[in-house]
A and B are shown apart, each in its own frame.
Chain A
Amino acid sequence: MNRSVLSSLLLLVSAGCQQRPVLEGANLAGLRELADAVDGDLLMEDVRELAAAHGSETPLDCRDFNFADRLCHLTHLDARALMRSKLEALGYEVSAFDTEDGLFSTSALIAEKRGTSRPDEVVLVGAHYDAFYQGADDNNSGVSGVLELARLFSGRAFDRTVRFVGFDLEELGLAGSIRYVASLPREERIVAALVFDCIGYSSTVPGSQMSVPGLPSRDTGDFLAVIANDVSLSRALEVRALVDELSLIPSLTLVAPGDGSAPLAGNLMHSDHAPFWLDGRPAVFMTDTAIFRNPHYHRDTDTPDTLDPAFLRGAVQVAAASLAYWAGGPR
């Protein structure tokens, strides 16, 4: 073979192997400042207020849902009202996407920070506000994360529109998020959706982290799990790059094949990101892995004092940097 042809081929191969920098164009100083501004005290204050709201509300009649006795305490109305009032107090105009369906009526809360240069492109962050018992980890931690991001983003400018969403009745088969995603106009471009479900529990005790066969994991439950599917792979890699670049809390990234619905990947679909995946939209799920780590999962012992405030803050820092990067900012 001609030497010049060979060298051209080698050049082509090497060019094909070169990857675009994962964080191309990132305002790392701005992202670091944003992550540093996450307020752990405010996060825990929201967790406690939400726990009080869930704890004092009359739960849904579990006979209607065929729950086991252990799960007979699901509430959502007071937490919804609290989430709405907190978003409004931050200056957001809050709308609701309601579906009337008797026992399964749902209401998604929606607030937006409109983008400055690409307002038709949306990055979304959401968490379900229904909970069993006080629901400190599941999912007051996630709701408090959304509220803290709403606070941080309210005073800053971003290229894309940032949407904050509270999902209803996740505990009843993802009812609220399924309906919300089904209502999205096909032409609406969701650049990335970020979903929180249980982001406040950690443990450094050996053996505190469980996994399932085929999923490697640390033995200690002290990392944030960042879960994506193939459609969302680049988003997950960006989260990971931000974690490394900004020295945020350790993360374990899991990427499910295809749309995520492969039988052995089923455990990765148990929250409100799943409807986004099944609709072909990029979504990243952040979690402390819930039942695989937290012994209080879906129990009356899921109380604020069991959470790790530093871990919760760290998880929201990861989310703040990721969401801001995807939104094109801060400017």
Chain B
Amino acid sequence: MRRALLLGALLGAMVANAGEHQLSGYLRGGGQVHLSAGRTMGGIGGGAGVRDVWEDRFLFQADASYLVMIGNVLAVRAGAGVQRRGVYAPAVLLVGSVLFGDQLTFLLPERTAPARGPAFSIGLAIAPLRFNVAETQISMLELGASVGFDPPDLALGFSIGLLEIAASF
């Protein structure tokens, strides 16, 4: 009975917020890597971001993370997507990311100049284990794949988010 009441209150709150913007801040931990024939960039680490949820459905977010393992890297991401309404709220996002900082650099025999500077990529991320509980959102897994361009080579990006905790304000 108490569980049903709690669920009802949650649903009521969500209906009341429909059509509104809900801002939240979040902390996340995970890893990201950018791979091309010219360089490998990325690492594991954590960071913080802000998110706007519109009409309890559409997500707009941006975050920055500090990554280690291949030197020191700043990862900045911006994304937009949709989530399922309700407590269980898996989401899918279109994410653009930029990595700044250290990298492993390669010059294969066919390549004449090193890939330097920020590494851009754009792709999709899915968060299948994501939950809304009152004013808190928790995501326990986020998988991303993206493509970028390190002239003249195509680059592939992969990301994994292992934990993200958000609080609305």
Q: Do A and B bind each other?
A: yes
Q: Which of A's residues lie within 8 Å of B, judged by CB?
A: 214-216, 218, 223, 230, 233, 236-237, 240, 244, 250-258, 262-265
- Chosen A-B contacts, 18 in total, with CB atoms closer than 8 Å, are A214-B35, A215-B40, A216-B106, A216-B108, A218-B108, A251-B107, A252-B106, A253-B105, A254-B106, A255-B104, A255-B105, A257-B71, A258-B72, A262-B70, A262-B71, A262-B102, A265-B71, A265-B104
Kindly supply a per-residue 1/0 record for chain B positions 23-41, scoring 1 wherever the CB is within 8 Å of any chain A CB and 0 otherwise.
0000000000101010010
* Residues of A close to B72: CB separation below 8 A: 257-258
Whether A258 contacts B109 by the Cβ 8 Å rule is no
Whether A253 contacts B107 by the Cβ 8 Å rule is yes
C-alpha spacing A253/B70, complex, angstroms: 17
CB distance from A123 to the nearest CB of B (A): 22
Contact residues, B95-121 vs A (CB, 8 A)? 102-109, 112, 114
Closest 5 CB pairs of A and B: A257-B71, A257-B102, A253-B107, A255-B105, A250-B109
CB distance from B158 to the nearest CB of A (A): 11
Whether A214 contacts B107 by the Cβ 8 Å rule is no
C-alpha spacing A244/B108, complex, angstroms: 12
Q: A252's closest neighbor in chain B, by CB?
A: B108
Whether A257 contacts B108 by the Cβ 8 Å rule is no
CB distance from B71 to the nearest CB of A (A): 3
C-alpha spacing A257/B119, complex, angstroms: 15
- In this complex, how many residues of chain B approach chain A with their Cβ under 8 Å: the count is 20
Q: A241's closest neighbor in chain B, by CB?
A: B112
Choose one: B37, B105, B112; the contact of A254 (CB below 8 Å).
Answer: B105
* Residues of B close to A265: CB separation below 8 A: 70-71, 104
Q: Which of B's residues lie within 8 Å of A, judged by CB?
A: 33, 35, 37, 40, 43, 68-72, 102-109, 112, 114
Extra contacts, 14 of them, besides A237-B107, A263-B69, A265-B70 (Cβ < 8 A), are A215-B106, A216-B106, A218-B108, A233-B114, A237-B114, A240-B107, A253-B107, A254-B105, A254-B106, A256-B104, A257-B70, A257-B102, A264-B69, A265-B104
Whether B114 contacts A216 by the Cβ 8 Å rule is no
C-alpha spacing A200/B112, complex, angstroms: 25
**Most central of A216, A230, A237, A258 by chain B CB within 10 Å:** A216
CB distance from A291 to the nearest CB of B (A): 19
CB distance from B48 to the nearest CB of A (A): 23
Task: Given A215-B40, A216-B37, A262-B102, answer yes or no on A252-B107 (Cβ-Cβ < 8 Å).
Answer: yes
Whether B114 contacts A255 by the Cβ 8 Å rule is yes
Whether B69 contacts A253 by the Cβ 8 Å rule is no
Choose one: A236, A244, A250, A254; the contact of B104 (CB below 8 Å).
Answer: A254
Whether B69 contacts A258 by the Cβ 8 Å rule is no
* Residues of A close to B103: CB separation below 8 A: 257
C-alpha spacing A252/B103, complex, angstroms: 16
Task: Given A215-B40, A262-B71, A265-B70, answer yes or no on A252-B109 (Cβ-Cβ < 8 Å).
Answer: yes
C-alpha spacing A264/B70, complex, angstroms: 6
C-alpha spacing A254/B40, complex, angstroms: 11
CB distance from B91 to the nearest CB of A (A): 29
Whether B102 contacts A258 by the Cβ 8 Å rule is yes
